[in-house]
Amino acid sequence: MTSTGFIWDSQMLEHKCLWDTEHPERPERITSVIARCQELGLLNRCKILAPRKATEAEIAAVHSPAQFGTLDKICSSNNNNMGKFEQLELEAAASKYDSVYFHPSTCDSALLASGSAIELTQNILDDKIRNGMASIRPPGHHAMESTFSGYCFFNNVAIAARQALASGRAKRILIVDWDVHHGQGTQQLFYDDPRSLNLIMPQLHKLNSRSSYKMRNRKNYKESKNWGPTTPYVRIERMFFVRVFYISTHRYENGLFWPNLKESNYNWIGDGEGIGFNCNIPLNKIGMGNTEFWHQILLPLAFQFNPDLVLISAGFDSALNDPKPIADPMPELVETLLNCMTVLQSHWTLGLGLKESKQGADLCVHVPTLRYDYVPVQLDKYPTRDGNPVTSFEECSPHDDRLNQLILTTNLAVPSSKLGIAFSVAANYDSSPKFKQSLSITGEIQIGLEPELKFSRPSGLMAAIVGGQCTSGIAIMSKVETIEVCKYAMDVLKLARILFIDWNGESDIAKGTLLKNPRVLYVSMRETSCQLTSGINFRWVENNNDDVSDANYLAALASVILPIAYEWCPDLILVAGPEEGREGGYGFCALPTSPAGFSKWQSIFGFEFTEQCLLPTLCRAVFGKATTEFFQQQC
């Protein structure tokens, strides 16, 4: 299960617009991707999967029977003798739908795209691959239950999700959609999904008045307005069974950007049994970054939802990795994030500072406002030509220069070992056969050498990771050795910036040179005193640092530590864990310096503890294996 799968089929290249050779949805969209992957040797690292067509039954699990029949009829009737008249017939058929074109091969290509998405997903669920990419077209996330839309005919990601649910091997599926356009089709298909979960709540969550908006070809598709200053926030305890959670970030401009729908706004959070399982992050201004979305919304929701499977609608029409330092978030983005967190906070734990304040304290409540500027126009016939923007050479040139710079500076080298393990001389660990056997997860584990030097094993492992010989590692070492390793990183490896995260809260760890050194940024996750005046210190006053919940730690990590780390871009992250007997340990994780920031993680975690079941559990996590049941069995 260590390989990455890749699937595509050259037959999908036959689908093209016959009356507009410069149409944006053309074969070059994937041929350029394939060519670049082959040039870099990436496909040689992947397990190439055999594509197949989706069956009519698999399509019908998501779409209405007419969806398949209509497409098959349009393409079949023009399959032979493609002359001028037949092209006109295809264009006339396309004018009945918003932003689509037809080709005699469209139905076969669409079936191949959906079938390939299913095949990739099933290989992941069968543990044949760890993850994968389907380079397929035509795309799918705009395709609705009974309507073609936005270059899309069958909703590939929704079809793959349905088949994963039907197999019984995935009960919670997270769909992340980062295309520049909102995937209204995917949202519609799961908005009030009857595949239910049990809700255990002290009382029914009261809703304010709700206005219904009938979407094309879908009844009971309603706008959720269960938010507002008077809304009683009732924590809903959820026992998850079968569920799909759809999260989309997209350009919106208050409805002025296609698909120009009200339901693309932040207040559409699901309906019926699907309420709370739809999250839209509409961007109302161009040029916004995406890191705040990841930190404040996506990561907290994903951790709480705990999906069995993550499916990504990876639209790259808005992607350009910017190597310059991360700027302050735009006010429009802050407004959007606060709106999203407010409407979802009765269903999920999101953000720091959004919870109700204690009695007597100042209460700062964000009140969302709705804005929709688009004036809908009913069309009997959609335009089929000259509707796509043309980008000039002058506009493309700066982006091309930045992309070329990224190509030159991106390191795609793969270390010879995925996981390294080092035991320091001072560490006292159980060398029983059972313990050693639990560490033998794969043959890729690399043991640190040079035992004659006091700190050679942890420091040597760090040097191997920083030097690109090992992807990540685990070291057992003492508290004192952790500080020595930090000094080794600065003095010997000449690392310029070190982020020191102290999960123990013992301020004596950070005394001396660490806090005073400008090359070290110190973060205390469980500060027990008020004596530290520098660095970043979390003091959980409400419960005196005892039994701090995972949600609190996650909020601290996502809302504070990760944003700072992304901007500071440290060469090394040093993690000091809890004392012996607590769950955690001492260690360090190394990150390579690159203009792309944290695009590639390398890590070492070190431990000093007696509960040694944590070590093999962490090994499994590094290799992408399930950990919960394994941890319970070991401990």
Largest Cα separation within the chain, whole Å, is: 83
Rounded to two decimals, what is the model's pTM?
0.82
Q: Which amino acid is at 370?
A: L
Residue 393 lies in a domain: no
Looking at the fold, whether 407 and 482 belong to one and the same domain comes out as no
Average per-residue pLDDT in the chain?
A: 75
Residue 586 lies in a domain: yes
Residue 357 lies in a domain: no
Residue 245 lies in a domain: yes
Looking at the fold, whether 404 and 450 belong to one and the same domain comes out as no
Catalytic residues: 142
CATH code of the domain in which 66 resides: 3.40.800.20
Average pLDDT over residues 587-599: 40
Residue 224: the pLDDT is 43
Q: What burial class does residue 404 get, using C-beta atoms within 10 Å of its C-beta: 0-12 exposed, 13-18 middle, 19+ buried?
A: exposed
Looking at the fold, whether 336 and 474 belong to one and the same domain comes out as no
Cis peptide before 415 (omega within 30 of 0): no
Looking at the fold, whether 571 and 422 belong to one and the same domain comes out as yes
Domain end among 125, 155, 185? 155
Looking at the fold, whether 148 and 188 belong to one and the same domain comes out as no
Looking at the fold, whether 470 and 527 belong to one and the same domain comes out as yes
Instruction: Report phi then psi at 450, rounded to 5.
Output: 55, 65
Looking at the fold, whether 66 and 34 belong to one and the same domain comes out as yes
Residue 218: the pLDDT is 39
Q: Tens of pLDDT along 164-208?
A: 999 999 989 999 999 999 999 999 999 987 654 433 322 222 222
Residue 261: the pLDDT is 96
Residue 114 lies in a domain: yes
Residue 217 lies in a domain: no
Give the chain's domain count: 3
What is the spatial distance between Cα 151 and Cα 16, in angstroms, rounded to a whole number? 11
Instruction: Print the domain residue range for 527.
Output: 414-632
Long-range contacts of residues 425-429, Cβ cutoff 8 Å, at least 24 apart: 425/451, 425/454, 425/457, 426/454, 426/477, 426/478, 426/480, 426/481, 427/476, 427/477, 427/478, 427/608, 429/476, 429/612
Q: Can you point out the beta strands (E) in 323-408? A: none
Domain end among 127, 155, 183? 155
Q: Tens of pLDDT along 514-554?
A: 777 889 888 888 766 656 666 788 877 655 555 676 667 77
Looking at the fold, whether 281 and 408 belong to one and the same domain comes out as yes
Domain end among 155, 179, 209? 155
Residue 363 lies in a domain: no
Looking at the fold, whether 140 and 188 belong to one and the same domain comes out as no
Residue 183 lies in a domain: yes
What is the spatial distance between Cα 142 and Cα 25, in angstroms, rounded to a whole number? 13
Average pLDDT over residues 33-52: 92
Residue 458: CB atoms within 10 A of its CB come to 31
Query: Across 73-82, 105-114, 228-237, 358-367, which has the greatest mean pLDDT?
Result: 105-114
Looking at the fold, whether 409 and 433 belong to one and the same domain comes out as no
Looking at the fold, whether 541 and 612 belong to one and the same domain comes out as yes
Residue 386's pLDDT band (boundaries 50, 70, 90)?
A: confident
Looking at the fold, whether 289 and 299 belong to one and the same domain comes out as yes
